[in-house]
């Protein structure tokens, strides 16, 4: 049977192959240390869970407004304004089924077939596949490991052409943890505005920043609002991955386009989840700091242990809960040619699951998620060290 060509343009995430192999080993009773998951290992905060339960008990279980309930949209724009100095009206906000859906909707609303979409490398794989799905051309712009994978306006400028429609920036970055400096982000936004290109800022990890750095949004440059589109998510900040709530902040025309699409596809985000999200955004925020403090402790531990492995280099992640070490010292040893081979061999021999850098557009790295316990980190890093030494 022939499927539609748009489906053949996208592939199952490369991160899935490692996950499936890890599950197989686990099913055989093998103790696998899993550094793959891209989700917090904390429960959803109690006040948020209770809000969801209350919503069910109050029969808030029917259709809602397609783009989300007004109270939630107001909570989103108010919090964004309070924290970042942005200026959005409720009519400039739509609630989606998670950040991924927010990003998908933005592409669907603003990118045409044949447009170029600039995606800095390393990148979260979904950006590239959505670009392909809408039949645009992903244009990958490499950032340098020696510069901590930092993205600059200068690098982007060289990649812009009259065909460019959208520039995607994800800071802090999945997988590298790299951060775009606040002033540099402003320069990037100004460049996009001058060239009449949309800047999509994915703020999924915006609250997980280290060394006392304050969360920042490019939407604080309110004079550049016409070319900025924000994709937000509650998944990581409030450990709500399963509740599926994300949002878009943009000009009303873009929001209306997305609502129109939503009206013929998903309809409203889950009613109960919207009430839980409202509590997450407007209730106590302590849980965010608790998670961040724990990630900070783990980041230090992971970096120290990775850097102690002969041949392994690791740029310092400024945010997220990922480390992105360079393991190319293993290439040419034991038949390992790239990070896919490395990850497969590491899983098979040392029973540690990591995500190969090929999934993020670089061949010399693997992604390690430290959204897991210190005991698991200790065990897994010991195994990686021994594995490298055995090659
Ligand atoms: C960079 C990035 N953006 C967005 C998302 C979307 O997350 P969700 O759809 O759970 O909100 C993720 C999830 O892994 C991510 O890594």
The binding-site residues of ligand 1, defined as CB within 6 angstroms of any ligand atom, are 38, 98-100, 124, 170, 174, 202, 204, 233, 235, 241, 246
Q: Which atom of ligand 1 is nearest to the CA of 245?
A: 11
- Cα-based distances in Å from 16 to 19, 182, 354: 5, 34, 11
Looking at residue 17, what is its pLDDT? 74
Looking at residue 19, what is its pLDDT? 77
The Å distance, Cα 233 to ligand 1 centre, comes to: 7
Q: Which atom of ligand 1 is nearest to the CA of 38?
A: 14
- Give the sign of the dihedral formed by CA 184, CA 185, CA 188, CA 189: negative
The Å distance, Cα 245 to ligand 1 centre, comes to: 11
Looking at residue 94, what is its pLDDT? 98
Looking at residue 322, what is its pLDDT? 98
Mutational test site, ligand 1, from 124, 175, 205, max ligand atoms within 8 Å of CB: 124
Looking at residue 20, what is its pLDDT? 85
Looking at residue 245, what is its pLDDT? 98
The Å distance, Cα 98 to ligand 1 centre, comes to: 8
Q: Which atom of ligand 1 is nearest to the CA of 97?
A: 9
Element (H, E) at 287: helix 286-307
Report the phi/psi class of residue 191: left, alpha or beta, with left for phi > 0 and alpha for psi in -120 to 50.
alpha
- Phi/psi of residue 322, each to 5°? -120, 150
- Domains in the chain with CATH codes: 5-43+287-390 (3.90.1150.10), 47-282 (3.40.640.10)
**What is the DSSP secondary-structure string of 229-285?**
EEEEESTTTTT-TTT--EEEE--HHHHHHHHHHHHTTT-SPPHHHHHHHHHHHHS--
The Å distance, Cα 48 to ligand 1 centre, comes to: 20
CB 6: neighbour CB atoms within 10 A?
11
Q: Which structure tokens are listed for 118?
A: 């600039």
Strand ranges (E), the chain = 33-34, 93-96, 116-121, 137-142, 164-170, 198-202, 228-233, 246-249, 322-323, 352-353, 355-356, 366-369
Q: Which structure tokens are listed for 351?
A: 């029973």
Taking 70 as the pLDDT cut, the residues of the chain under it are: 14-15
Looking at residue 14, what is its pLDDT? 66
């Amino acid at each position: 049977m022939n499927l539609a060509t748009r489906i053949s343009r996208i592939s199952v995430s490369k991160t899935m192959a490692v996950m499936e192999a890890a599950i197989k080993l686990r099913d055989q009773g093998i103790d696998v240390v899993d550094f793959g998951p891209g989700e917090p290992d904390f429960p959803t905060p109690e006040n948020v869970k209770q809000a969801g339960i209350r919503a069910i008990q109050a029969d808030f279980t029917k259709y809602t407004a397609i783009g989300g309930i007004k109270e939630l949209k107001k909570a989103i724009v108010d919090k964004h304004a309070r924290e970042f100095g942005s200026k959005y009206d409720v009519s400039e906000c739509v609630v989606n089924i998670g950040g991924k859906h927010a990003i998908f909707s933005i592409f669907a609303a603003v990118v045409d077939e044949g447009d170029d979409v600039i995606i800095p490398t390393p990148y979260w794989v979904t950006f590239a596949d959505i670009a392909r799905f809408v039949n645009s051309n992903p244009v990958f712009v490499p950032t340098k490991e020696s510069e901590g994978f930092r993205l600059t306006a200068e690098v982007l400028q060289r990649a812009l052409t009259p065909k460019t429609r959208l520039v995607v920036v994800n800071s802090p970055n999945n997988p590298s943890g790299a951060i775009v400096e606040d002033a540099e982000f402003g320069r990037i936004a100004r460049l996009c505005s001058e060239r009449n290109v949309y800047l999509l800022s994915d703020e999924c990890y915006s609250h997980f920043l280290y060394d006392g750095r304050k969360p920042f949004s490019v939407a604080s440059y309110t004079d550049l609002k016409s070319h900025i589109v924000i994709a937000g998510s509650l998944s990581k900040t409030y450990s709500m991955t399963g509740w599926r709530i994300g949002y878009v902040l943009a000009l009303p025309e873009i929001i209306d386009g997305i609502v129109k699409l939503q009206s013929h596809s998903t309809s409203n985000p889950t009613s109960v989840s919207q009430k839980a999200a409202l509590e997450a955004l407007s209730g106590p925020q302590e849980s965010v700091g608790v998670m961040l403090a724990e990630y900070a402790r783990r980041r230090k531990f992971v970096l120290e242990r990775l850097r102690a492995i002969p041949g392994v280099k690791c740029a310092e992640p400024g945010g997220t809960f990922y480390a992105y070490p360079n393991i190319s010292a293993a290439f040419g040893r034991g038949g390992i040619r790239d990070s896919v081979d490395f990850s497969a061999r590491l899983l098979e021999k040392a029973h540690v699951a990591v995500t190969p850098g090929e999934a993020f557009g670089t061949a010399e790295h693997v992604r390690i998620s430290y959204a897991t316990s210190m005991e698991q980190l200790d065990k897994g890093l010991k195994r990686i060290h021994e594995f490298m030494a055995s090659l």
